[in-house]
């Protein structure tokens, strides 16, 4: 067998690539309406950018990062997510010196060594946003609304917005202690990772992919009983703003998210479907109060989310939302002899300069095979030039839909097609 792509990666060819581009273009347009500007950062970072911020005991850091030593002996990681990398750039470029809040969006590939399954890849693309600056629960609601609206604006219907508050660090420390005690009696029956998690970070047991759905997890103490008054009030305000916006959501007390940096508000949009995508998140995000301080002693809170483009594409394909994608050629030019071919080349270039998609056959002279090509390209018009047309500066134009056929001057071709 010849060369094969790396497991968990994909090639996007033609229409598939067009779909991915369309999704990100639409998202970028919505982001601009919400006041975001684009940021492009490298796909690799120094490993420590992710280790502390994403969390030393998270699955992402312990098992999923593509980390290697470069030729200078530095530890480099292909970014597994955007938030920590954007935070690094925000700090390094001293964006905190600017007035007001900073709203940034990014799009690009992420890398995680995850178990391959439907909708889960080792290289996948995220469209993500981050907002830095002091702002209250109204911003959280606005950002959640934005994430939800991104899906809706693309036509995706079957998703549920789940929200939760995971409180501040002190609430979570108390909760961790309670979970340690609660799981202490039964941890022997859990997976090997959970056995380590009970000491390192018991919250992780709640979103373990292996032990998911177990009674003990479902009946575990709820984080909501450990939130302090400030976090409760904050979350109530977020819900109030969402209610005001008329956005449907479900409060899911088991939603803790797989990355350590979150504080208070977290949210996900979950896929409802009759296949293996059911239950997967398409959007995930939340507030992170301490990341910038922990990384660079800058006391600015952040909030953000990321949406997976491959999952969006799968959902849109399932719901037939690409069916109107018009990829057809507008004009196919046929030259029936060597000299007429030269004319078709010139005309094709004139059409393209005017933004008209024009294609031609470079080699074949036979009408039959050129008609076949035109059919394969789904051409709306076929412009035929043989000796007679060439000598009279004319073109024989056939509308493939109505079958109407006319002869017009070559100079009028653009005007006619437009
Ligand atoms: P996360 O960064 O884990 O919060 O993920 C945010 C979003 O990225 C998810 O809701 C998915 O849409 C997407 N995503 C995360 N991991 C993968 C993956 N391995 N393959 C495809 N999409 C992913």
pLDDT tens string 86-111: 999 999 999 999 999 999 999 999 99
**Which DSSP category does 267 fall into?**
E
- Residues 268, 255: contact at Cβ < 8 Å? yes
pLDDT digits (tens, 9 = 90+) for 233-292: 999 999 999 999 999 999 998 888 777 888 999 999 999 999 999 999 999 999 999 999
| Sheet of 123-132, strands arranged across | 37-38, 102-111, 123-132, 302-308, 281-288, 265-271, 159-165, 250-251
Q: Domains in the chain and their CATH numbers?
A: 15-168+228-318 (3.30.930.10), 331-417 (3.40.50.800)
Q: What is the pLDDT of residue 204?
A: 83
Position in ligand 1 atom list of the atom nearest CA 309:
12
Q: Is 80 in the pocket of ligand 1 (CB under 6 A)?
A: no
Position in ligand 1 atom list of the atom nearest CA 122:
19
CA of 274 to the centre of ligand 1 (A): 20
pTM for this entry: 0.90
Position in ligand 1 atom list of the atom nearest CA 268:
10
Q: What is the pLDDT of residue 418?
A: 84
Task: Give the residues across from 129 on adjacent strands.
Answer: 105, 305
Q: What is the pLDDT of residue 258?
A: 72
Position in ligand 1 atom list of the atom nearest CA 112:
19
**Which residue stretches of the chain have pLDDT < 70?**
1
Top mutation candidate among 24, 87, 306, 315 for ligand 1, by most atoms within 8 Å of CB = 306
Nearest CA to ligand 1 atom 14: 308
Integer distance in angstroms from the first to the last C-alpha of the chain? Answer: 49
Q: What is the pLDDT of residue 354?
A: 95
CA of 337 to the centre of ligand 1 (A): 55
Q: Is 271 in the pocket of ligand 1 (CB under 6 A)?
A: no
């Amino acid at each position: 067998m010849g060369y094969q792509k790396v497991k968990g990666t994909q090639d996007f060819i033609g229409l598939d690539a067009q779909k991915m581009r369309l999704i990100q273009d639409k998202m970028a347009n919505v982001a601009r309406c919400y006041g975001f500007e684009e940021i492009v950062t490298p796909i690799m970072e120094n490993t420590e950018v992710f280790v502390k911020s994403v969390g030393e005991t998270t699955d992402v850091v312990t098992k999923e990062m593509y980390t290697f030593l470069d030729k200078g002996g530095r530890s480099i990681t292909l970014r597994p997510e955007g938030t920590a990398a954007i935070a690094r750039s925000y700090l390094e470029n001293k964006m905190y010196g600017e007035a007001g809040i900073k709203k940034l969006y990014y799009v690009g590939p992420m890398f995680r060594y995850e178990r391959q399954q439907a909708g889960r890849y080792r290289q996948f693309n995220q469209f993500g946003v981050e907002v830095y600056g002091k702002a209250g629960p109204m911003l959280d609601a606005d950002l959640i609304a934005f994430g939800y609206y991104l899906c809706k604006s693309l036509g995706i219907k079957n998703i549920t917005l789940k929200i939760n508050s995971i409180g501040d660090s002190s609430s979570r420390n108390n909760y961790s202690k309670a979970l340690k005690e609660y799981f202490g009696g039964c941890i022997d029956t859990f997976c090997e990772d959970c056995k380590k998690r009970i000491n390192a970070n018991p919250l992780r047991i709640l979103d373990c992919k292996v032990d998911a759905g177990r009674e003990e997890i479902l009946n575990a103490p709820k984080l909501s009983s450990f939130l302090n008054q400030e976090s409760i009030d904050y979350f109530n305000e977020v819900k109030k703003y969402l209610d005001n916006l008329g956005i449907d959501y479900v409060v899911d007390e088991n939603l803790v998210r797989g990355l350590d940096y979150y504080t208070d508000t977290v949210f996900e949009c979950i896929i409802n479907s009759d296949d293996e995508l059911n239950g997967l998140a398409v959007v995930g995000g939340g507030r992170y109060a301490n990341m910038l301080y922990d990384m660079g002693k800058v006391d600015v809170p952040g909030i953000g989310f990321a949406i997976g483009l491959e999952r969006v594409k799968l959902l849109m394909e399932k719901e037939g939302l690409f069916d109107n994608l018009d990829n057809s050629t507008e004009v196919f030019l046929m030259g029936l002899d060597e000299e007429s071919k030269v004319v078709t080349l010139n005309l094709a270039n004139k059409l393209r300069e005017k933004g008209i998609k024009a294609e031609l056959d470079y080699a074949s002279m036979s009408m039959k095979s050129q008609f076949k090509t035109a059919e394969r390209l789904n051409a709306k018009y076929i412009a035929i030039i043989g000796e007679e047309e060439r000598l009279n500066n004319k073109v024989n134009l056939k509308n493939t839909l109505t079958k109407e056929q006319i002869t017009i001057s070559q100079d009028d071709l653009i005007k006619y097609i437009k």
